[in-house]
Structure formats: C-alpha cells, structure tokens
C-alpha cells in the first residue's frame, strides 16, 4: 500500500469512526483537520482501533495529540510505525 492509498484508507476509517458526525466534504473544507471538525474523543479511540484492525499497526492512544490532529498527521504516524510504500 503506497502512502496515497494509506491516506485514503485512513480518511475512510476516520469518517466511519466519526459515526456520522463528520463527512469527507467537511474534512476537506477543514484541510483534513480532525480537531477543526470537532472530532470526539470516542471517535479518536474508534479510529485508533480501526487502524490497528484494518492496517495492522499499533498506535499508542497516549501519543502526543499532534499525531492525531489531522488525516496527514495520522498517516505520518502510521508510516513511522512501520507501514509504508512496501506494506
């Protein structure tokens, strides 16, 4: 999975984890900032769990919040955790 596909997957998972509270259009309008669209703490936990299940990488829920602020920062965290172009 290349980084573009990974980012698209994380976007899909973020929307699903939002449980109807956020849409792709809303995220695009907020420059893909989860914080700026009012993503809830429960949604963050669902997203972390979904990434672990779907992508196969453990993410520390206690990591600094800036790692979870946007689709791009979450993607970078996943890549840093071992998922990259060769995964």
Query: What CA–CA distance (Å, rounded) separates 65 from 73?
Result: 10
What is the helix (H) or strand (E) element at residue 69, kind and residue range?
A: none
Please tell me the number of Cα atoms within 13 Å of 35 on its side-chain side. Answer: 9
- What three-state secondary structure class fits 57? coil
> What number is the average pLDDT over the span 47-64?
93
Inter-residue contact 21 to 40 (CB < 8 Å): yes
- What is residue 16's predicted lDDT score, i.e. its pLDDT? 96
38 φ, ψ (degrees, to nearest 5): 75, 35
Please determine, for residue 84, whether its predicted confidence score (pLDDT) is greater than 60: no
């Amino acid at each position: 999975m290349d980084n573009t596909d990974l980012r698209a997957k994380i976007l899909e998972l973020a929307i699903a984890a939002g449980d109807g509270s956020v849409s792709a259009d809303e995220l695009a309008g907020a420059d893909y900032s989860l914080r700026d669209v009012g993503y809830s703490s429960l949604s963050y936990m669902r997203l972390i769990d979904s990434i672990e299940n779907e992508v196969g990488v453990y993410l520390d829920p206690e990591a600094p919040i800036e790692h979870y602020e946007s689709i791009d920062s979450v993607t970078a965290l996943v890549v840093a955790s071992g998922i990259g172009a060769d995964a």
